[in-house]
Amino acid sequence: MKSKKKFSLYTAIMVVIANMVGTGVFTSLGFQVAGIKSGSAILLLWFIGGIISFFGAYSYAILGSFYKKNGGEYIFLKSAYSEQLGFLSGWISFLLGFAAPIAAACFAFSSYFSGMLHTSENAHLYGIPMTDVYSVIILFCITLMHSYSHKVSAWFQNVLSSVKVFILVALIMIGIFIGKKTNVNFQFDTHFINNVWNNAFVVSLFFVTYAYSGWNAAAYIGGEVKNPKKNLPLALIIGTGTVSILYILLNYVFLKHIQIEEMAGKLDIGIIYADKILGSVWGRIFGGVIAFLLLSSISSMVLAGPRVTNAVAKDFPKLNWFSFESEKGIPKRALWIQAIIAMAFVLSSGFESLITMIGFVLNLFTMLTVIGSIRVGLRIKKVSGLVNKFVFPLFPIIFLAFQSWILCFGLYSKTKESLIGLGITLLGIPVYRWVKKA
For residue 42, the domain's CATH number is: 1.20.1740.10
CA dihedral 106, 331, 72, 77 (to 10 degrees): 130
- Determine the Cα angle at 227 with ends 222 and 228, to 5°: 25
CA neighbours closer than 13 Å in the CB half-sphere of residue 107: 19
**Under a CB-based contact definition with an 8 Å cutoff, are residues 272 and 262 in contact?**
yes
Distance separating alpha carbons of residues 71 and 309, to the nearest angstrom: 8
Flag whether 3 is in a domain: no
- Note the pLDDT of residue 4: 54
Quickly count: other Cβ atoms within 10 Å of residue 35's Cβ: 15
CA neighbours closer than 13 Å in the CB half-sphere of residue 10: 12
Flag whether 337 is in a domain: yes
Flag whether 1 is in a domain: no
Instruction: Specify which residues 128 forms β-bridges with.
Output: 125
Q: Burial code of 37-62, b = ≥16 C-beta within 10 A, e = fewer?
A: bbbbbbbbbbbbbbbbbbbbbbbbbb
- Note the pLDDT of residue 17: 93
Q: Classify residue 294 by burial, with Cβ atoms within 10 Å: 0-12, 13-18, 19+.
A: buried
- Determine the Cα angle at 54 with ends 109 and 97, to 5°: 45
Flag whether 41 is in a domain: yes
| Range of the structural domain that residue 30 is part of | 9-436
Flag whether 427 is in a domain: yes
What DSSP character marks residue 330? -
Flag whether 341 is in a domain: yes
**C-alpha distance from residue 38 to each of 183, 191, 194, 269 (Å):** 10, 7, 9, 17
The helix, strand and coil proportions of the chain, stated in percent and rounded to the nearest 5, come to 75, 0, 20
Domain count, the chain: 1
**Under a CB-based contact definition with an 8 Å cutoff, are residues 362 and 413 in contact?**
no
- Note the pLDDT of residue 179: 67
Instruction: Report, as ranges of residue numbers, the positions in the chain whose pLDDT lies below 70.
Output: 1-4, 118-121, 179, 267, 283, 349-352, 381-385, 438
Flag whether 196 is in a domain: yes
Question: What are the residues whose beta carbons fall under 8 Å from the beta carbon of 173, sequence distance 6 or more?
Answer: none
Beta strands in 167-309 (DSSP E): none
Quickly count: other Cβ atoms within 10 Å of residue 4's Cβ: 8
Distance separating alpha carbons of residues 287 and 115, to the nearest angstrom: 7
CA neighbours closer than 13 Å in the CB half-sphere of residue 375: 11
- Note the pLDDT of residue 3: 47
Q: Chain centroid to CA 149: how far?
A: 23
Quickly count: other Cβ atoms within 10 Å of residue 169's Cβ: 13
Flag whether 28 is in a domain: yes
**Helices assigned H by DSSP within 267-413:** 269-278, 280-315, 332-348, 351-380, 394-413
Beta strands in 49-129 (DSSP E): 124-125, 128-129
Quickly count: other Cβ atoms within 10 Å of residue 412's Cβ: 9
Amino acid at 242: T
**Helices assigned H by DSSP within 8-38:** 9-20, 24-27, 29-32
Distance separating alpha carbons of residues 406 and 213, to the nearest angstrom: 13
